[in-house]
């Protein structure tokens, strides 16, 4: 089990991803990627393709600076009937997203990319969780937007920060909805260590 806890660099500022990895006993540094997901063209990309492309772009961005280290990056989006929904930039956008996503079941997709440049290692995979929401009242929507919890979160909510009260049930990984499928990550990091001679 100890071999799994390999040191790596996490290319993410997400406190939720850091918390999940620390809780699992991983040792890592953080180097935040300068990649702006909003600049990635969504036209002709499926939600899965978009998430994978964004995660890989973030990992490669940091790998340029640390070519001899394993770099881990991730990208989380909501998929609403094929429409890619990322982070809201304003309260108005957050309200529009909330009304849309909590009207019926939607998917949360998190792609994970693991890169080690000088070993020629590049792994990308994703996990999908279906979220079945509870219909929110006007008052609940108003309170959710006023709380500011939606900031910097894909789909404008966080399952671990009170968002679970608006969710009836999920089909899939809960940590995937939080921003990093730990089940998928553990499989990928094992493969990375094997293939990257770490």
Q: Which of the 8 DSSP states describes residue 172?
A: S
**How confident is the model over 142-165, as pLDDT tens digits?**
888 888 888 777 776 766 544 567
Query: Is 123 within 8 Å of 192 (Cβ atoms)?
Result: yes
Parent domain of 129: 2-195
pTM of the predicted structure, to 2 decimals = 0.88
Look up the CATH number of the domain holding residue 183.
Answer: 3.90.950.10
Total domains, the chain: 1
**How confident is the model over 25-80, as pLDDT tens digits?**
999 999 999 887 777 777 788 999 999 999 999 999 999 999 999 999 999 999 99
CA distance 26 to 140: 37
Query: What is the rounded average pLDDT for all residues in the chain?
Result: 87
pLDDT, position 166 = 78
Helix (H, G, I), strand (E, B) or coil at 166: helix
pLDDT, position 3 = 43
Instruction: State CA 57 to chain mean position distance.
Output: 14
> Residue 175 pLDDT > 50, yes or no?
yes
Mean pLDDT of 8-32: 94
Active site residues: 75
**Nearest CA to 19 among 175, 193, 164?**
175
pLDDT, position 150 = 81
pLDDT, position 131 = 92
CA distance 51 to 37: 9
Query: Is 111 within 8 Å of 124 (Cβ atoms)?
Result: yes
**Rg, Å, the chain Cα set:** 17
Mean pLDDT of 119-130: 96
């Amino acid at each position: 089990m100890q071999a799994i806890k390999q040191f790596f660099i996490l290319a993410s500022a997400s406190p939720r991803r850091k918390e999940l990895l620390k809780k699992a006993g991983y040792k890592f540094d953080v180097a935040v990627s300068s990649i702006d997901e909003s600049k990635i063209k969504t036209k002709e990309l499926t939600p899965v393709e978009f998430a994978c492309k964004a995660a890989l772009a973030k990992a490669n961005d940091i790998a340029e600076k640390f070519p001899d280290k394993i770099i881990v990056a991730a990208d989380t989006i909501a998929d609403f009937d094929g429409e890619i929904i990322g982070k809201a930039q304003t309260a108005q956008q957050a309200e529009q997203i909330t009304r849309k996503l909590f009207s019926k079941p939607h998917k949360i997709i998190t792609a994970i990319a693991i890169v080690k440049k000088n070993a020629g290692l590049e792994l990308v995979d994703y996990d999908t969780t279906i979220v079945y929401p509870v219909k929110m009242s006007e008052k609940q929507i108003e309170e959710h937007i006023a709380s500011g919890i939606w900031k910097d979160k894909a789909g404008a909510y966080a399952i671990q920060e009170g968002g679970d009260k608006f969710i009836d049930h999920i089909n899939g990984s809960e940590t995937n909805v939080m921003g990093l499928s730990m089940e998928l990550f553990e499989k990928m990091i094992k493969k990375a260590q094997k293939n990257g001679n770490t």
